[in-house]
Structure 1
Amino acid sequence: MPAPKKRSTRAVRSIRRDDEPMVVHFKTRAEPAEVETEPLFYIDDVEYRIPVKLPVNLGLRYLRLIRQQGRDLAADWLLEQVLSEEGYEALANQDFDDDEEQFEHLFQIIERRALGQKEGAAGNRRSG
């Protein structure tokens, strides 16, 4: 059995950079902001768009659902939230040729954005 860790007698100091606040203060929006969108995928010649920037709380809700319901149900929920009903139904109700790899790529893009990662982050979280 490992020995218990010794407690430090040194006082813990806050380390602060001059340009960083000690407390983060969030403000809610009084009205929904206009959402800028961009194309994510096409089915034949029909374009489907998603928001350029996803809300931070979407990623938090997604992570909670993974923990509570499992990854598959959380992934389904995330797709519905980001793609809108129209985009989700378009993907769900089509029969595609050789679509598994493309669908996985599409989901990876959505998941990275929901978790606040930049494109090309390949599974690594941003460190601020």
Structure 2
Amino acid sequence: MVAEIHAQAAAQETGETAPEPSGVLRLKTKPKDPEARERRVVLFYIDDVAYSVPARPGAEVALQILDAMDERGQEAGIAFMLKKLLGVDGYRALMNYEGLEREDLQQVITKAFEIVNGALEGPKER
């Protein structure tokens, strides 16, 4: 490992390309699977109108939410999460619903967190 680091440093000094150290994660952009990202699940109803979120948001969404929480605090991060998952119209509908109880809001937030956390988990074993 130390030899790999020295080889990289030497290559940088000479402008050469050094071999990558073993275990380096290489991220490559994959073609988007429209079906995977388009699947949605209902998060809540207001009267008879369903409000849905992506069934499996990407890991980048989870990271964006964590970043919002780190940069602006937990409450701002929660608002960002709900806006990101529900979209502006869904978020506004929830925000403007006069019958919303604290327990209802907590349930929506909890379920949204569960969905986002699912983005960080691997596929379920059968």
TM-score by length of 2: 0.67
Unmatched segments (≥5 aa) in structure 2: 1-22
Alpha-carbon RMSD: 2.9
Name the structure 1 match of 2:62: 59
- 8 Å contact kept, 2:56–2:119: no
Q: 1:42 aligns with which of 34, 41, 45?
A: 45
TM-score by length of 1: 0.66
Q: How many residues align?
A: 101
Shift of 1:113: 2.0
Residue 95 (structure 2) pairs with residue 92 (structure 1): yes
Name the structure 1 match of 2:9: none
Name the structure 2 match of 1:105: 107
Q: What is the CA–CA distance in structure 1 between the aligned matches of 2:98 and 2:107, rounded to whole Å?
A: 17
Unmatched segments (≥5 aa) in structure 1: 1-21, 119-125
Percent identity between the aligned chains?
25
Name the structure 2 match of 1:19: none
Larger helix share, 1 or 2: 2
Name the structure 1 match of 2:27: 26
Name the structure 1 match of 2:11: none
- 8 Å contact kept, 1:59–1:116: no
